[in-house]
Amino acid sequence: MQNIEKNKSVVIDSHCHLDFKTLTDDLSGVLRRAKSEGVDKMLTIGTNYREISETISLSERFEEIFFAAGVHPNQPSEELKFKSEDLLSICEHKKMIGVGETGLDFHYSQGSKSDQIKSLIQHIEVAKEADLPVIIHARNADKEIGKILSAQYLKSSFKCVMHCFSSSSYLAEEVIDLGFYLSMSGIITFKNSQNLRDIFARVPIEKVLVETDSPYLAPVPHRGKSNEPAFVSLIAKKGAEILNVDEEFFRTQTTKNFFTLFKKAY
């Protein structure tokens, strides 16, 4: 394990976008600051597997970086239609540890609802075949996502994380009942997110991950600025407060959760 400054225990950024220019322009600094905060591993997400070369390159250059790939629901409809075998071939890469992010976004992409649903189901089928967890994006589609995940799980089980969870208590309960994970982002630090904090307070700590979703959603006190993996430490601090546990325990447990879900990262 790497030496960690400030005597911090390890914590993992389970979802970031290191291929975005904001972060790649200062990648050495981003990784150095992450290390200083005990961020031992990072999972960077490709939003369209057809344009994944830079993401794969990052994972191959840096031991601490893993990647996931899929087609984000906000991609155009023509991009949501893909060949499962193409995505499955990328799943064979030793550092691809998850499928996605996929999901439903009926806030920004209402015109592609049917294509999003088909794409989500297809991603789940790929994940099952590859024996990898699914990474889900949900916005304004709680009922639909709840029904799809339950129906697909009844067909055959799979693992899943609700990335950057900020949905309803209904969806939280649905996915926890299925044994899935909920991921905390910087949103839990926002002043107007008390309802979300109340939801997470009822989630078993064994089912919680932490993430930045950087360069988006920087936590307080950096809200409105570019986010980066080092800031997951602030999210962990707030998460420990919400669940009323010691911060070091929270960091250790969510790290354990990451490796339980993303078994290929070992």
Averaged pLDDT, 19-42? 96
Instruction: Report the candidate in 182, 113, 183 with the shortest Cα–Cα distance to residue 148.
Output: 113
Spell out the residues 6+ positions from residue 128 whose beta carbon is closer than 8 angstroms to its own.
156, 158
Residue 219 near residue 189, CB atoms below 8 Å = yes
What pLDDT band is residue 33 in, cutting at 50, 70 and 90? very high
pLDDT at 119: 98
- Whether residue 114 has pLDDT greater than 80: yes
Ordered by start, the domain boundaries in the chain are 5-265
What is the architecture of the domain spanning 5-265? Alpha-Beta Barrel (3.20)
Q: The whole model's pTM is what?
A: 0.95
DSSP code of residue 206: G
Contacts of residue 20, defined as CB under 8 A and 6 or more positions apart, other chains included, come to 214, 215
Q: Which of 64, 6, 89, 112 lies closest to 265 in space, CA to CA?
A: 64
Position 7 scores a pLDDT of 59
Q: Using CA atoms, how far apart are residues 216 and 131, in angstroms rounded to an integer?
A: 29
What are residue 97's phi and psi, to 5 degrees?
A: -115, 0
pLDDT of residue 4 exceeding 60: no
pLDDT surpassing 60 at residue 199: yes
Percent above pLDDT 90 for the chain: 95
